[in-house]
Structure formats: structure tokens, C-alpha cells
Amino acid sequence: GGKDAINITIINFNNEKMQITWATRELFHSENVSFFYTFGEGNHKVWKTCTTYLLDQDYNSGCLFKTEGPTLAISIRNSNGSEEFFSKKLKADFYIKPSPPENVTFFWKEDTVTVSCNKPERNARCLKLELQFKSKFDKEWQSRNTTCCSIREQGFDPRKCYSFRVRLNRLVPYCNVVNYSSDWEAETFWMNGMLLDSCDDDVTPQPKPVIVLSSSLAVLLMLLILLILLCKWQRVQLSVLPAIPDPKYPLADLFNDHNGNLQEWLDKNDHVVLQTKIEYEEPESITEAESQQEGGKNSEKPGPLGKIFTLPGAAENNDGRPAEIAYLMPASNTTSPFAGFHILMNDDIYVML
């Protein structure tokens, strides 16, 4: 409780403009407040009303006004100014946020770079120049600080591209009660003393596992290609220059058993040739011959078992040769014994038990 217990943010932009902000939604709920300020000391203060408010959901949450002196008094009141909610007196010089450095230059000599900027007209002793740089191989920025307004750094590799940025810091607690720094100056890119548009063209080295894996895959791919080419070459060689068979293996008995006597070898192997011919004779001819032989035997020994029935559709086979497909039909009312049973066969049925 109390008028000094409210959290506010105070920024003095390079001792030119003041910005005072507060959390209006948390502190004043739905009430819209008004802001008053005055510079100077004494009992006879002239309060000025804020003309440039900062808004948060249509509620006043801050004020922006010109810096007019080192001593500042502020007051937050209700909407019509009749009731005061908060008041504070402060030193405006203790809340200065410096502007970014101006006219930044880089001077290169071998592996050494010197960075400098213009010296501010006021309060230069309260400022420090901060330089940050990194190459594409670095994950974090490397930082260097020195008194305003020049810094010298060594150890830069001329083969690498570097990013640079600079800013000014306000000294705490000698000059400021809040650690305010300026915004970063525009980032620049340098390589071997030459200004570049970016470091995107710089090649980032691959990690060692990636290099090993890539090399292994390349070697395997080359071996696969060589194997495919070797197989294709063997196939081409066989098609162009076929292998000549050695006659001593299929004619081994001609030379070993008959001492090269061809006529004697042929006489002995006639049955082999004949057997080969019989094995490769057409199945239709063999079937036809067997059928004729069986028919001759049946004609020599006729019996009362039945008669031959010829299908009219089987007059010719596919080769154009006449052929008969004979079926043995049972005689009418014939009784045949089989395994102790007497079987009666007639014209209507084939078997009758």
C-alpha cells in the first residue's frame, strides 16, 4: 500500500525524451487514469498534463514527453485529476538509454580489426562500447567491451566470414540505476578485410560422422558399379566369343576303350542310338502301335465278354491318321464271377450286383 508501491518503468531516451509506463489493467482495473509531470525543484511546481498517451486496450498505460531537466516529478491521478493514486520524484539522468553508435568503422590489418564510432557529445565517460562477432562455425557470439569509443581485437582467420555488431552500454551504478544499453547497430559481414552482403556463400564444414558415412556410401556405390560392369562384360564376352567344348569328355570311351577306332565305337553304340530314337518317338505312334497289337490279340482269342463299339466322332485324330477308340461292351444277360460274387450284365446297365 502507499503511493510509492506502484511498479512503473522509466526510460530516458538519450536524455531527449522520457517514457513512463505502468500496468494499468493490474493497478487501476477498468479506470482510465491521467498523468502529470514537472521538471525542476522547489515548492512552486507547475504540473503539465500528458499530451501523448500510450494505450493498452483503449486505457492509458504510459506517457511520452520531452526531457527538460535532470530532476523529474510525476503524478498519476484519476480521470479528472482530482484524486492522486501515485507520485514519485526521481533523477532523470539515472534512467538514460543511449542511442546506437554512429558512424561505425572497421579497420583491418592482417588478423587484427579495429572498430570505432563517433564519441557522443555528452556523458561519454558513462558509456562503454561493446563489440560482438562470430563466424559461421560459431554457435554463440563472442563479446568484447572497452571504454568509448574504440576497440581492437586480434585472431581473425582471413579464410572465414565473420558477422559483427556493436552497441553502447550505460555504466551501472555510477551513471545509471538501471542497466540500459542502446539498440544494436546494423549487423555487417566481413571476410579477409572485405565487406560482404552476407555469409551465406561460406561453406559450413560437415561433422566427421557425416564425412565418414558419405565416404563409405561412395565406396560401396563404386564397388556395386564395378560389379555390374564386370557381370555385363562376362555376358558380352560369352556372346561374342562362346566357349569351345572339349571333345574328350563326351567321347571319352572312344579314346579310352576303343583307342580312337570310330567304326568299332559306332558298332558298339548302335543300341544306344536305337534306344534314344525309341525314347524320343512320338507318343501318338507308340499308342497307336500298342492299340493295334492289343486288337490283334483280342481278335485271335474272341470271347463272350462283349462287342467292340466305335465312337463315330473318333474316326480321325489330330494328325489325320485313322484311329479307332474301342470300348469293350458287355454281352447281353452275361454272368461273370468276381471275388466270389456273380455279376449279371445286360444291355441297359454296365454292371449289376
pLDDT at site 80: 85
What is the block-wise mean pLDDT of the chain (353 residues), using blocks of 10 residues? 68 93 79 89 82 88 92 89 87 92 91 91 88 89 90 90 93 90 92 87 54 85 87 72 61 68 72 51 49 50 44 44 45 53 52 43
Q: Residue 179 maps to which CATH number?
A: 2.60.40.10
Same domain, 112 and 80: no
Residue given cell 525542476 in the structure block: 40
Picking from 128, 161, 196, the residue at the C-terminal end of a domain is 196
Same domain, 134 and 86: no
| Domain assignment present for 307 | no
Same domain, 111 and 185: yes
Picking from 75, 97, 119, the residue at the C-terminal end of a domain is 97
| Domain assignment present for 258 | no
| Domain assignment present for 17 | yes
Same domain, 165 and 181: yes
Same domain, 78 and 127: no
| Domain assignment present for 311 | no
| Domain assignment present for 226 | no
Picking from 37, 72, 97, the residue at the C-terminal end of a domain is 97
Number of domains in the chain: 2
Residue 328 Rama label (left phi>0; alpha psi -120 to 50; beta): beta
pLDDT at site 23: 83
Same domain, 128 and 73: no
Same domain, 89 and 125: no
| Domain assignment present for 32 | yes
Q: How far apart are CA 294 and CA 324, in angstroms?
A: 12
Does the global pTM surpass 0.85?
no
| C-alpha cell, 121 | 557529445
pLDDT at site 297: 47
Q: How far apart are CA 234 and CA 137, in angstroms?
A: 51
Enclosing domain of residue 91: 8-97
pLDDT at site 198: 87
| Domain assignment present for 15 | yes
Same domain, 135 and 174: yes
pLDDT at site 204: 45
Check: CB of residue 33 under 8 Å from CB of residue 21.
no
Whether the CA torsion 276, 279, 284, 285 is positive or negative: it is: positive
Please choose, from the candidates 328, 314, 317, 326, the residue with its C-alpha nearest in 3D space to the C-alpha of residue 285: 317
| Domain assignment present for 162 | yes
Q: How far apart are CA 21 and CA 108, in angstroms?
A: 44
Provide the edge-to-edge strand list for the sheet that holds 194-196: 142-147, 127-135, 161-170, 188-191, 194-196
pLDDT at site 7: 84
